[in-house]
Amino acid sequence: MGVGVLSRYGPLLPITGDTPRVTLGEGDTPLIASRHLADEVGCQEVYLKLEGCNPTGSFKDRGMVVAVAKAMEAESTTIICASTGNTSASAAAYGAHCDLTTIVLVPKGAIATGKLAQAIAYGAQILSVNGNFDRALELVRELSDKYPITLVNSLNPHRIQGQKTAAFEIVDSLGDAPDYLAIPVGNAGNISAYWMGFREYHEAGLAKKRPMMMGFQAEGAAPIVRGAPVENPETIASAIRIGNPASWSQALTAQDASGGLIDAVSDDEILAAQRYLARREGVFCEAASAASVAGLLKMSREGHSLAGKTAVCVITGTGLKEPELAPSQTDIPTQDVEAELDAVERVLALADVSATPKQR
Ligand SMILES: *Cc1c(COP(=O)(O)O)cnc(C)c1O
């Protein structure tokens, strides 16, 4: 198996001999067993799929590599997307790698610092739209209809195709699908992609079962849970601050066909889960990513029978993208100290501790 989604899963993707096999090393992300979360929720095992380990720090790279390779195959020279941040970071990276012009429309003032820094660094043309994500998406749809520019939002079916490979990887490493798959839901492309992947592996006889798909929206941006679009979605989790998901019906299909559930979690629950992951598991993720774990914790509180079950929580992106959220992570301020040993010892209250070095 080579490096990247196209070479690892090529035969299961809609690519041809003419599709360039580009890669930035996306996919093949770690699936780690939790140390504490399984006990906390009463599961036999909880695994964390660390999608923040992708080249631009989120799962978006899996679908972007396919969308960009197909754009190149079609001899397109310009790609465009609307983005809450991670899609633009990914599009800009693959656009740079493949010599394409990348145009991104982001909601003004509503995108995380790290994500904007990425789009700038990779040299995308960035338009800061005076409106929310849903409006920016309407605009790029119109532009890509009107001009020879390739849309690389998850409305582009190649994005979903690439993203389904995460489900393949989970089955490849566990030997079967888990009982539950917990995942944040924003534009709902990813939950649809995982369901496609699990279904395909099951149909091909590569998995004995299919997981129950448990999707979690933020309470202030939960159109699927409410059953109606949310005009002004509000949540601290900017990656899922979406009021009218493009893959709404596919997400409902994933929920219904799997016997799963799409539910909402509050910002407080999201921040608590983000903190739990960082402090107890050593995994620092984006706020949006923590919605999967917040959802699993909620299921446990509400009495879902998790005993003997395995769950996978999709950790969609890295916390390094949102440095502005770090203060909410901690009530312990940093401590200033003089650059002297005795001063450091005093601050750490080490006076009573034996000075003998620890045996190793
Ligand atoms: C895009 C994104 C989501 C939401 O995924 P959808 O496919 O829009 O539902 C969740 N978390 C992170 C970090 C993302 O970048």
Q: Is 316 touching ligand 1 by the criterion CB < 6 Å?
A: yes
* Confidence category of residue 328, pLDDT binned at 50, 70, 90: low
User: How far, in Å, from the CA of 238 to the mean position of ligand 1?
Assistant: 9
What is the position in ligand 1's atom list of the atom closest to the CA of 193? 7
* Secondary structure string (H, E, C) spanning the chain: CCCCHHHHHHHHCCCCCCCCCCCCCCCCCCEEECCCHHHHHCCCEEEEEEHHHCCCCECHHHHHHHHHHHHHHCCCCEEEEECCCHHHHHHHHHHHHCCCEEEEEEECCCCCHHHHHHHHHCCCEEEEECCCHHHHHHHHHHHHHHCCCEECCCCCHHHHHHHCHHHHHHHHHHCCCCCEEEEECCCCHHHHHHHHHHHHHHHCCCCCCCCEEEEEEECCECHHHHCCCCCCCCCCCHHHCCCCCCCHHHHHHHHHHHCCEEEEECHHHHHHHHHHHHHHHCCCECCCCHHHHHHHHHHHHCCCCCCCCEEEEEECEEHHHCHHHHHHHCCCCCCCCCCCHHHHHHHCCCCCCCCCCCCC
What is the position in ligand 1's atom list of the atom closest to the CA of 317? 13
Q: Is 184 touching ligand 1 by the criterion CB < 6 Å?
A: yes
Give the residue, 353 or 90, on which the prediction is more confident: 90
What is the position in ligand 1's atom list of the atom closest to the CA of 242? 8
What is the position in ligand 1's atom list of the atom closest to the CA of 154? 7
pTM assigned to the model: 0.94
The confidence score (pLDDT) of residue 40 equals 97
The confidence score (pLDDT) of residue 12 equals 97
pLDDT of 329 higher than 60: no
The confidence score (pLDDT) of residue 144 equals 96
Q: Is 86 touching ligand 1 by the criterion CB < 6 Å?
A: yes
The confidence score (pLDDT) of residue 352 equals 62
The confidence score (pLDDT) of residue 356 equals 59
pLDDT digits (tens, 9 = 90+) for 258-300: 999 999 999 999 999 999 999 999 999 999 999 999 999 999 9
User: How far, in Å, from the CA of 354 to the mean position of ligand 1?
Assistant: 49
Q: Is 107 touching ligand 1 by the criterion CB < 6 Å?
A: no
Specify the range with the lowest mean pLDDT, choosing from 56-60, 106-110, 152-156, 322-326. 322-326
* Mean pLDDT to the nearest integer, 223-248: 96
User: How far, in Å, from the CA of 163 to the mean position of ligand 1?
Assistant: 11
User: How far, in Å, from the CA of 106 to the mean position of ligand 1?
Assistant: 15
User: How far, in Å, from the CA of 153 to the mean position of ligand 1?
Assistant: 11
Residue of 87, 224, 240, 285 with the most ligand 1 atoms within 8 Å of its CB, for mutation: 240
